[in-house]
């Protein structure tokens, strides 16, 4: 039974506010509790083994400096060190996107810790492991080179891609979160040899609430205007995986917000869908690096993560 190397360190980060598309306060659903559920689901599987990302911290800082703009990182560091309140900065939202995610005390440290998890997972693959799963929090796929949004500050999947490229691996990123990976598209736009595929709900109806177009010839976006069935979704995914079957490693930005009842979602997948999803990736016969993105339906998350892991057993 192939093992899955899971990486997680609890940060205890508390995001204290969040805005909707009109800029109005809404409930914060990006919480430590959701990641505890993901961890519990993975812990229920005998073939998942665990490691800390602590030893990857320095490498994560170095990769972060290459992936993100210096002025953006300086802002994150300064705003995170502020002792009081939330800081919402329109300068560091993506053009045309309403700022929704404030920088709160501790945000930068937590985001760097999430990057460390992604880097450690990538290192596990270069060290010969077959499957790795970085249980990142906060998520990263809405974070661009110089913008935050959608609960994301630093791009974890982009960091994993950078580490694998540095190790001479041909790598691509497939984003299967409910929401479009606008930040990953942005950080990868200057990295033309890393293909990026994002399948998502229509970006007019869901974050980032605007039309999006690929940032280069090797980026493919598949948007669903209506909730797809599991069969439809997996068929569309399989149709687009061609360019990824010849790579050395596939990074999967995994979001569980496709599941029925997700407060940021709107689709109707069951937890069992995620076993079919990971089996489809497994059938590419490539090493896989899963990076945790969204997923906010607390009662469903443990089952979603367990099913995903079972698809790799």
Contact set with Zn ion (CB under 5 A):
177-179, 255, 257, 294
Determine how β-strand 25-26 pairs with β-strand 18-19.
antiparallel
Chain position carrying tokens 């687009």: 240
Residue nearest to Zn ion (CB): 294
Catalytic residue among 8, 141, 142, 180: 142
Give the C-alpha separation, 184 to 174, whole Å: 10
Return the DSSP state at 72.
H
Q: Closer to Zn ion at the Cβ: 75 or 296?
A: 296
Instruction: Give 163 or 188: the residue with its C-beta nearer to Zn ion.
Output: 188
Closest distance between Zn ion and the C-beta of residue 82, in Å? 27
The verdict on whether 142 is a catalytic residue reads yes
Our CB check for Zn ion shows the closer of 129 and 177 to be 177
Q: Which residue intervals of the chain are DSSP H helices? A: 32-43, 57-67, 70-81, 107-126, 156-166, 182-187, 230-240, 273-282, 298-310
CB of 155 to Zn ion, least distance (A): 14
CA distance 306 to 313: 11
For 15, list phi and psi in degrees, rounded to 5.
-85, 120
**Closest distance to Zn ion from the beta carbon of 207 (Å):** 7
Q: Is the Cβ of residue 94 or residue 177 nearer to Zn ion in the bound state? A: 177
CB crowding 172-193: b at 16 or more within 10 Å, else e: bbbbbbbbbbbbbbbbbbebee
Least distance to Zn ion from the beta carbon of 200, Å? Answer: 8
What is the closest distance, in whole angstroms, from the C-beta atom of residue 113 to Zn ion in the complex? Answer: 20
Quick check: helix, strand or coil at residue 54? helix
179 or 306, CB closer to Zn ion? 179
Do 285 and 249 meet the contact criterion of CB atoms below 8 Å apart? no
The answer to whether 101 touches 151, Cβ cutoff 8 Å, is yes
- Residue 154: CB atoms within 10 A of its CB come to 31
**Which residues are identified as catalytic?**
142
């Amino acid at each position: 039974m192939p093992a899955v190397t899971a990486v997680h360190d609890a940060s205890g980060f508390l995001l204290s506010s969040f805005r909707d598309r009109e800029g109005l306060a809404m409930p914060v659903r990006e919480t430590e509790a959701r990641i505890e559920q993901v961890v519990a689901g993975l812990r229920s599987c005998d073939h998942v083994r665990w490691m800390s990302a602590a030893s990857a911290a320095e490498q994560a800082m170095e990769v972060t400096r290459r992936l993100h703009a210096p002025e953006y990182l300086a802002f994150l560091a300064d705003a995170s060190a502020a002792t009081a309140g939330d800081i919402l900065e329109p300068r560091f939202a993506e053009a045309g996107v309403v700022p929704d995610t404030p920088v709160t005390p501790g945000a930068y440290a937590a985001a760097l810790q999430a990057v460390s998890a992604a880097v450690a997972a990538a290192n596990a693959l270069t060290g010969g492991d077959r499957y790795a799963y970085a249980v990142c929090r906060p998520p990263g796929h809405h974070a661009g080179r110089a913008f935050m949004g959608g609960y994301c500050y630093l791009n974890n999947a982009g960091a994993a891609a950078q580490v694998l490229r540095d190790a001479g691996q041909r790598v691509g990123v497939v984003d299967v979160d409910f929401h479009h990976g606008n930040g990953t598209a942005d950080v990868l736009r200057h990295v033309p040899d890393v293909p990026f595929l994002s399948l998502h709900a229509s970006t007019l109806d869901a974050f980032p609430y605007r039309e999006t177009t690929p940032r280069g010839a090797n980026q493919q976006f598949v948007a669903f205007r209506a909730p797809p069935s599991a069969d439809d979704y997996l068929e569309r995914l399989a149709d687009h995986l061609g360019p990824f079957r010849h790579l050395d490693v596939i990074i999967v930005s995994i979001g569980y917000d496709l599941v029925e009842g997700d407060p940021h979602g709107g689709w109707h997948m069951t937890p069992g869908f995620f076993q079919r999803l990971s089996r489809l990736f497994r059938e590419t016969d490539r090493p896989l690096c899963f990076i945790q993105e969204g997923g906010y339906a607390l009662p469903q998350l443990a089952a979603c993560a367990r099913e995903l892991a079972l698809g790799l057993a």
